[in-house]
């Protein structure tokens, strides 16, 4: 199944006899929020209007564990994640569609979490809420509880050592903005730069101006230019805290390429002063 779904397709499937579970994951990262001062209230945005039937899921509370040495958005407790999904109506035998405000990062993190824990059919609304042309509702649904039982390990997951090794043996992509990769600026984490051997691949380059993904063929060509091809070996992705990196893993999936995610990402890597840091435009 395709990893993304258009708004037209979602409207059609929602009107059918077996509509998908829809999850609203509106979230934004800002330096202020990272410093502890909330700058965006996803639940308030959801309550002001959401796709009919959608259930709100909080990225920080439900899709990540407490920030710390493992990064700003480490993996959540798997049992707690499963309980959140079941309360939202998620079952393994029912399609799931996730969306956010349009950036796609939070929706992709949810997509990745569900795929990693074994859900067989989850897609991201291409373009997010901004692509939706149907009505919005403000009432909060009470879904029938689902039966989803997470089984971690269905897709690739990297730790810090695995990411370092993959940068040498395969292709490790850094999904952050190029200036953070180079180390010119670092607005959030301890130090700027990148994992030695990683290739700069800003996730913003995977989408058009309206937030929709580039066509699969264009994405495949783009990733090939970065060294990702049939003979490049394993592929991994990291970012600042495992959120925008999930969006790049999703873009790779659209292009037909499997990739592992380093969830701890730069926020974990850079917190340990013993780990090497490379700067400048080149991988090494």
The pLDDT score that the predictor gives to residue 28 is 84
d(CA 62, CA 28): 15
- The residues, any chain, with a CB within 8 Å of residue 118's CB and separated by 6 or more, are 92, 150, 151, 152, 153, 154
Contact by Cβ (8 Å): 94, 20: yes
CATH number of 157-269, picked from 3.40.250.10, 3.90.870.10, 3.20.20.70, 3.40.710.10: 3.40.250.10
Residues with active-site annotation: 239
User: Would you say 242 and 163 are in contact if contact means Cβ atoms under 8 Å apart?
Assistant: no
Taking the model in full, what pTM does it have? 0.95
Domain boundaries, the chain: 4-131, 157-269
Is the domain spanning 4-131 CATH 3.40.250.10? The answer is yes
Task: Tell me what pLDDT residue 231 has.
Answer: 72
d(CA 266, CA 103): 20
Place of tokens 């994405």: 219
Domain 4-131 identical in fold to domain 157-269: yes
Q: What pLDDT tens digit does each residue of the chain (284 aa) get?
A: 789 999 999 999 999 999 999 999 999 875 444 455 556 799 999 999 999 999 999 999 999 999 999 999 999 999 999 999 999 999 999 999 999 998 899 999 999 999 999 999 999 999 999 999 999 999 999 999 999 999 999 999 999 999 999 999 999 999 999 999 999 999 999 999 999 999 999 999 999 999 999 999 999 999 999 999 867 689 999 999 999 999 999 999 999 999 999 999 999 999 999 999 999 999 98
Task: Quote the DSSP letter at residue 198.
Answer: -
């Amino acid at each position: 199944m395709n990893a993304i779904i258009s708004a037209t397709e979602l409207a059609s499937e929602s009107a059918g006899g077996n509509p998908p579970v829809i999850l609203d994951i509106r979230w934004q990262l800002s330096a202020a929020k990272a410093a502890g001062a909330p700058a965006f209230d996803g639940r308030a945005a959801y309550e002001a209007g959401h796709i009919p039937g959608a259930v709100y899921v909080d990225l920080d509370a439900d899709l990540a564990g407490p920030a710390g040495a493992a990064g700003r958005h480490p993996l959540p407790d798997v049992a707690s994640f499963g309980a959140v999904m079941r309360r939202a109506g998620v079952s393994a035998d029912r399609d799931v569609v996730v969306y956010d405000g349009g950036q796609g990062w939070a929706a992709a993190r949810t997509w990745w979490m569900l795929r990693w824990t074994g859900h067989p059919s989850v897609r991201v609304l291409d373009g997010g809420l901004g692509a939706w042309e149907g009505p919005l509702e403000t009432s909060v649904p009470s879904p029938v509880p689902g039966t989803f039982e997470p089984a971690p390990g269905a897709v690739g997951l990297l730790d810090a050592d695995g990411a370092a090794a993959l940068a040498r043996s395969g292709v490790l992509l850094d999904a952050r903005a190029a200036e953070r990769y180079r180390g010119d600026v670092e607005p959030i984490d301890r130090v700027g730069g990148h994992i030695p051997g990683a290739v700069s691949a800003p996730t913003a380059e995977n989408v058009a101006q309206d937030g929709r993904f580039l066509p699969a063929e264009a994405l495949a060509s783009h990733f090939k230019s970065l060294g990702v091809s049939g003979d490049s070996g394993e592929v991994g992705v990291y970012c600042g805290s495992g959120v925008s990196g999930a969006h790049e893993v999703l873009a790779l999936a659209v292009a037909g390429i499997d990739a592992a995610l380093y969830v701890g990402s730069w926020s974990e890597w850079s917190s340990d002063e013993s780990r090497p840091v490379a700067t400048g435009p080149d991988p090494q």
